[in-house]
Amino acid sequence: MFRCFLVSSLLLTAAPAAAAQIDWPQQIAGLDGVTVGCSNANKEKYAAKLCSDMTGHVMAELQKANIAADDLGAWYSHDEEEPAKPGTMTTPLKVTIFVRGTNSGGTYAINLRSRLSVDYEKAVEAGSEGPVRKGELVLWEGSTTGSGPRDALARAIAGAATEKLDAELKQVIEAWPAAN
């Protein structure tokens, strides 16, 4: 168990990889707000707390920047659908947190992903006369995984995942038309 925790500790403390440069002003042009939600694959208190902490942090950052945002809450990914976007937003940027954890013989592992995306209802391939398709365009995604004692692990995973998400969120906020 010490070896698993040591490996996860090293992974969690490593500096985040250099992110690909995203042209955020171009990507967010025409968006009219942000939805924030959490897809939770666990019915445990630590997972619910991770969802609450992460979405609360994102909502606070967006509110400080005066960007219209709606908290969709958390849903249990095994039997619930993602809540619908609010009627006040036509095309929001989606910030989705994904929590997944396991417990195998007292060894805990958690994967915490963050995604920035946009839903499209009428997407067609450029130059194509083909069928219209629904889809989700993923603009950025970060993932943090580790294993070890559950209480310490949840804090470490949340800290590392928040650091990654904040780096992109800061760029989105700076590029958001209403924030300039």
- What is the pLDDT at residue 125? 61
Of 97, 67, 54, 58, which Cα lies nearest the Cα of 175?
Answer: 67
CA dihedral 57, 60, 64, 69 (to 10 degrees): 110
153 bridge partner residues: none
Of 17, 6, 3, 9, which Cα lies nearest the Cα of 163?
Answer: 17
Pairing of strands 69-76, 34-40: parallel
- Give the chain's residues under pLDDT 70: 1-20, 122-128, 130, 132, 150-151, 178-180
Q: Using an 8 Å Cβ cutoff, are 50 and 34 in contact?
A: no
- What is the pLDDT at residue 8? 41
Pairing of strands 93-104, 34-40: parallel
User: Domains of the chain: which residue ranges?
Assistant: 25-122+134-179
Distances, alpha carbon 129 to alpha carbons 90, 125, 126, 132, in Å = 25, 8, 9, 9
Residue 12, amino acid = L
* Burial status of residue 30 (CB atoms within 10 A of its CB: 0-12, 13-18, 19 or more): exposed
Beta strand segments in 33-83, E: 34-40, 69-76
| Residue located via tokens 């958690």 | 110
